[in-house]
Structure 1
Amino acid sequence: MTANIPGPVRGRVTAAFTDAGVTGALCATDIDTGAAITLGADTPVCTASVHKLCLVATLYREAAAGRVDPTTPLDIPAQGRTPGPTGLAVMRDAARLSLRDLASLAIAVSDNTAADLLWDHLGLDTVNAAMRDLGLTRTIAVHNQAGLYATMLTDAGPGGRAALVDPAAVARLSVLDPARTNRSTPREIAALLGAVWRDEVCAGGWGDELRAVLGVQAWSHRLASGFPFDDVRVSGKTGSLPTQRHEAGVVEYPDGGRYAVAVFTRAASTAATLPGADAAVGRAARVAVDALRAADTP
């Protein structure tokens, strides 16, 4: 069920966005009761690297069905890797890693090369079919990380990567149009996470391992910044594009409360570094989760 956001809660969620100079959409769901706090939750959004959640979930769903062995090793040449600022993209030597270790890199440091090796092994059609089977019909991948990056540079024009802070170049980017890039909605991404935590994507040991992989992300500047407590666990995956900063994840409290949260934002500024916009993701998520927890309190 979806809660009607009380005026003060809606005002605080909106303030978290507007104070940081962003617009935002949010879905926060109690994984066990289905209660939800939403703001623009059915708005189509560009998923960017948040779509790696769909990719890794599909890997483990295929493993549970016996169609993929996630311990399968892949040889990774030193050349021809997908560009990116982390992981295998910045390493200089050939490597050999299993599918599930590639999944860990794709989540932990948003490794684009690791993700594309998984995209190539599984196929976009397999990932899209898995999302449809889970009822997530608006969650669609149209290109891998290399395709997304190449499209962005082509649209940016002769200025290349350096032009991605130029408002005129940013306005040309098709990767900022949900109709032309990897896409979903905050509600569907939160639903995917809820399904993972309820063992509906895969159960038993595979479900345990999937949740463990989704808990290894190194970044704490967005969603986790809203929950700075040693006894609260935050598992998540960021996504970033020019002007866009997202994160989706699960917040687990020591009393057993667990909440799937998806936050997608777009900044007015084209600056590459906007700490306030990053922090707004955690601030809005905290407001929504606090509201859900208050509603559960007798």
Structure 2
Amino acid sequence: MTPAQRDDLMGTLTDIDERFSGSLHVSARSLNGTGAVELNSTAPVATASVIKIPILLTALRHAELGRIDLDRVSSPARDHGVQGSGILRLLRSDLQVTFEDLLVLMIATSDNIATNAVLAEIPGGVDEVNRMMDAVGLRRIRLRNPVDLDLIADDPELLGVAPVNQLRALMDAVQSRTAVSPWVSGRAEQILTTQLYLDQVTKFYKVNPYAAELAALAPLTVASKTGFVPGTRVDAGIVRWRTGGFVYACAAVGSLDESFASDAEPSLALADAGVALLEAFWTGPDIPLVPGAHRHV
């Protein structure tokens, strides 16, 4: 990224921030370290479900050390009932799944029952997740409680809080295989590719989530976790393509639009920011964006 390209990117992001009814927070960096951008990136924000990435890493570390059995079967809906996102609350309470299934459900469908079941198996629970973030040097990423919608209804920060620059640094550590250990980082990125809610930063990217199954070529891949609460959207991830890529963490906070629609203002603010990031970091001939991908906020 040239200085002129970075200036153009900052100008676009600043314009989105000014038009958005809340505040836009962006931290992004190219995988080769040749370009980076920061906007309001040091202010702490409610993480929403993006805090499930530290939970994932902590659980995988304990599995790597033999303290958690990924094949252990349980009935999480029976013991960890909680409302909100996910699929387990819609299924039979005696449904049995493995611990590894819980990790995938926690990311792919942002399943809250799976999340609390995972936390319950981690020795030390919430405190251990925060200790793991301390160990990787990201002391401002804080998990505060298991998922409890009644608890966080008036204050989403009671689930988790972090500045986007530290969330982006965490994704950078995952992609470089330095988050906790190479195995933990690699397995975490694999699980993050199962994310089904690609409706924020990568909303307008030409992502084919079925490319591997169909043996199809895909212009890029995304490994990410999104989160939402009324008026706020948060997204952190890794975008890769054959000749490059970037890591990012973005948040659109405090919107007057508190709906959960896919075209709610905070979702579109992040989508606009995502378009600007891909245009700035892309190193191939044709930027893989869907038609009509520009300026919605």
The 3 A distance-change label for structure 1 pair 105 and 41 is: same
Question: Which of the residues 120, 145, 148 maps onto 2:147?
Answer: 145
**C-alpha separation in 2, matches of 1:262 and 1:212:** 18
The 3 A distance-change label for structure 1 pair 87 and 204 is: same
**1:284 correspondence with 2:286:** no
Of 30-39 and 188-197, the range deviating more from structure 2: 30-39
**1:71 correspondence with 2:48:** no
Question: Match of 2:250?
Answer: 263
Per the TM alignment, residue 112 of structure 1 is displaced from its structure 2 partner at its CA by 0.3
Q: How do 1:150-189 residues align onto structure 2 when only pairs under 5 Å count?
A: 150-153=150-153, 173-175=154-156, 178=157, 180-189=158-167
Q: Please, which runs of 5 or more residues in structure 1 have no aligned partner?
A: 154-172
Of 279-288 and 81-90, the range deviating more from structure 2: 279-288
The 3 A distance-change label for structure 1 pair 277 and 199 is: same
Residue identity opposite 1:258 in structure 2? G
**C-alpha separation in 1, matches of 2:270 and 2:77:** 37
Per the TM alignment, residue 15 of structure 1 is displaced from its structure 2 partner at its CA by 2.8
Higher helix share: 1
Of 10-19 and 212-221, the range deviating more from structure 2: 10-19
The 3 A distance-change label for structure 1 pair 30 and 214 is: same
The 3 A distance-change label for structure 1 pair 204 and 39 is: closer
The 3 A distance-change label for structure 1 pair 15 and 152 is: same
CA contact (8 A) 1:24 1:264 kept: yes
**1:227 correspondence with 2:205:** yes
Residue identity opposite 1:268 in structure 2? L
**C-alpha separation in 1, matches of 2:127 and 2:152:** 22
Q: Give the SS at the match of 2:202.
A: helix
Question: Match of 1:165?
Answer: none
Residue-by-residue CA offset, 1:203-243 (whole Å, 9 max, x unaligned): 45544322110100111211222422531111111111111
Q: Please, which runs of 5 or more residues in structure 2 have no aligned partner?
A: 208-217, 284-297
Residue identity opposite 2:147 in structure 1? Q
Residue-by-residue CA offset, 1:142-181 (whole Å, 9 max, x unaligned): 11112xx12134xxxxxxxxxxxxxxxxxxx222xx4x54
**1:83 correspondence with 2:83:** yes
Q: CA RMSD in A?
A: 2.4
Q: Which has the bigger relative contact order, CA under 8 A and spacing at least 6?
A: 1
Residue-by-residue CA offset, 1:46-99 (whole Å, 9 max, x unaligned): 001000011101111222333333222223354751112431122233122222
**C-alpha separation in 1, matches of 2:62 and 2:164:** 24
Q: Give the SS at the match of 1:271.
A: coil
- Percent identical among aligned pairs is 22
Q: Give the SS at the match of 2:28.
A: strand
Residue identity opposite 1:92 in structure 2? R
Q: Give the SS at the match of 2:196.
A: coil
